[in-house]
A = this chain, B = another copy of it.
Amino acid sequence: MTQIDLVEDRPKLGRKRDPSRDQDILDAALDVLVESGYDGMTVDMVAARAKAGKATLYRRWPSKSALVLDAVACLKAGELDPDTLPDTGTLRGDLVAMIRPPAIRDGERKLRIMSGMVSLLADNPELADAAHAALVEPRAAVNRIFFERAIARGEVAPDIDVEKLILIGPALVSYNVLMLQRPVTREFLISNIDKVILPAAGVRPPPTA
Name which residue of chain B comes closest to A131, CB basis: B179
Contact B121 A38 (CB under 8 A): no
Contact A132 B180 (CB under 8 A): yes
**Per-position binary interface string of chain A over residues 176-209, scored 1 when its CB falls under 8 Å from any chain B CB and 0 otherwise:** 1011110000000001100110011010000000
Report the separation of the CA atoms of residues A112 and B136 in the bound assembly, to the nearest whole angstrom: 19
In A108-136, the 8 Å CB interface with B consists of 112, 114-123, 125, 128, 131-132, 136
A101 CB → nearest B CB, Å = 21
- Residue A100 is within 8 A (CB to CB) of chain B in the complex: no
Contact B119 A39 (CB under 8 A): yes
Given contacts A171-B175, A175-B174, contact A122 B37 (CB under 8 A): yes
Residues in B with CB closer than 8 Å to A128 are 179-181
Report the separation of the CA atoms of residues A123 and B37 in the bound assembly, to the nearest whole angstrom: 9
Given contacts A164-B195, A171-B172, A191-B164, contact A121 B179 (CB under 8 A): yes
A106 CB → nearest B CB, Å = 17
Name which residue of chain B comes closest to A178, CB basis: B118
- Residue A80 is within 8 A (CB to CB) of chain B in the complex: no
Contact B196 A164 (CB under 8 A): yes
